[in-house]
Amino acid sequence: MKNTKKRDLILSVALGAAVLLGLTYVDRNMRYSMLASVIQKGSIYALLAVSLNLLNGFTGLFSLGQAGFMLIGAYTYAVLTIPVAQRAGVYQYFNGGALTFALHPVLGLLLAGATAVVFAWLVGKPCLRLKSDYLAIATLGFAEIIRALIQWEAFGPVTNASNILKRFPTFESILTPVLISAGCIALIVLLINSSYGRAFKAIREDEVAAEAMGINLARTKMQAFLTSAFFAGIGGAMLAMFQASVQAKAFTSAMTYEILLIVVIGGIGSVTGSVLGSFLYIACSEWWLRFLDDAQTYLHVNIPFMRGGFRMVVFSVVIMVIVLFYRQGIMGTREFSWQGIVSFFARLGGKSEKKAAKSDG
């Protein structure tokens, strides 16, 4: 049995270095290209997908409130970090707003996650003991309630009510979101591989059996819920930084559905799948498949059905096909491993060898 650990380590370090070099190159020369945009948004959605997967895939709690936590994270970050000099301009209808200080972006990010955790605790206390279907609707409803609260005129001095929040610190380089995401995802993976993660999986498999084995259902579910909300809050704050502006109206249940679909495409229960699925989804929807929305002439014949909106229809059909026929998604429950890649290529090589042998014999 070969010692694969050393090989794996070398390969991982090499891959990491290559990725960092590649990103630095893109950052220097193609800062505003679509590739840069896809890399940033893809890594943000990767974190969001993994946070949802933690809840849905690893713990089996069907929650549809992700957009609500993202919204809280985004607004907390934006509200706390707008430079004091800009506040009067942004809070134009509320006399400069209620806050007169601005925090450092890193502190803003952490507080974004923390605020999301507080709200998650408030929501989780009553809702986590509901049946899975009711939990879905309750969390969906909670996201709706949060949106209405933030848009309320009475909170205007803090949230700017219906108006956009902008001028807060954004990403200087594309490495920032990638590194933050990678760090958070690494934390989540550590959590999943620990005893807490095993408790989550036990609940997913069979709640009654888990309880019989001594796992405190309510507490463990709350842990999963809070962790997921924390990272969703950070993801929301990063999304705000990426977009350079944030408005409550955009954080609808459609956003949660998007993330859910990314999780499904990647494979419920696979972190690698969520990351892959996220980049694939963002690249396709923002970049590669945009041409579906424009009138195309193919050999001087106008293809009649390609116009605005076609891209989303194609998307929805692909998603339905995946949900119906490829329920495992891309990765199923498997994770990334060098051994997996090596054996994949070995199998391919083995197949062609076997075929050659057959045709000879």
Size of the site for other proteins (CB under 8 A): 89
User: Minimal distance in Å, beta carbon 86 to other proteins?
Assistant: 7
Residue 99 or 250 having the CB closest to other proteins = 250
Q: Is 141 exposed, middle or buried (0-12, 13-18, 19+ CB in 10 A)?
A: middle
Choose, by CB under 8 A, the member of 5, 28, 29, 148 that binds other proteins. 148
User: Minimal distance in Å, beta carbon 102 to other proteins?
Assistant: 16
Distance of CA 44 to the CA centre of its chain: 6
User: Minimal distance in Å, beta carbon 189 to other proteins?
Assistant: 22
Residue 103 or 138 having the CB closest to other proteins = 138
Within 97-136, the residues that bind other proteins by CB under 8 A are 126-127, 130-134, 136
324-356: burial string, b at 16+ Cβ within 10 Å, e else? eeeebbbbeeebeebeeeeeeeeeeeeeeeeee
- Using CA atoms, how far apart are residues 324 and 320, in angstroms rounded to an integer? 6
3-state secondary structure 273-297: HHHHHHHHHHHHHHHHHHHHHCCCE
Of 61, 73, 209, nearest to 135 by C-alpha is 61
Compute CA distances 59 → 6, 132, 336, whole Å. Answer: 33, 11, 20
Backbone angles phi, psi at 302, to 5 degrees: -75, 115
Residue 114 or 149 having the CB closest to other proteins = 149
Q: Does residue 10 sit in helix, strand or coil?
A: helix
User: Minimal distance in Å, beta carbon 14 to other proteins?
Assistant: 30
Within 247-276, the residues that bind other proteins by CB under 8 A are 247-250, 253, 255, 257, 260-261, 264, 268
Within 228-247, the residues that bind other proteins by CB under 8 A are 242-245, 247
Choose, by CB under 8 A, the member of 8, 27, 286, 335 that binds other proteins. 286
Stretch that binds other proteins, among 4-12, 88-96, 227-235, 333-341 (CB under 8 A): 88-96
Choose, by CB under 8 A, the member of 103, 114, 138, 187 that binds other proteins. 138
Residue 127 or 184 having the CB closest to other proteins = 127
Stretch that binds other proteins, among 96-104, 151-159, 174-182, 227-235 (CB under 8 A): 151-159
Within 200-219, the residues that bind other proteins by CB under 8 A are 208
Within 14-73, the residues that bind other proteins by CB under 8 A are 32-34, 37, 41, 56, 60, 62
Measured CA angle at 54 (ends 316, 74), to 5 deg? 75
Interaction of residue 328 with other proteins, rule CB under 8 A:
no
One-letter amino acid identity for 210? A
Relative to beta strand 297-298, strand 301-302 is antiparallel
Strands (E), 118-264: 165-166, 245-246
- Using CA atoms, how far apart are residues 347 and 341, in angstroms rounded to an integer? 10
Residue 114 or 319 having the CB closest to other proteins = 319
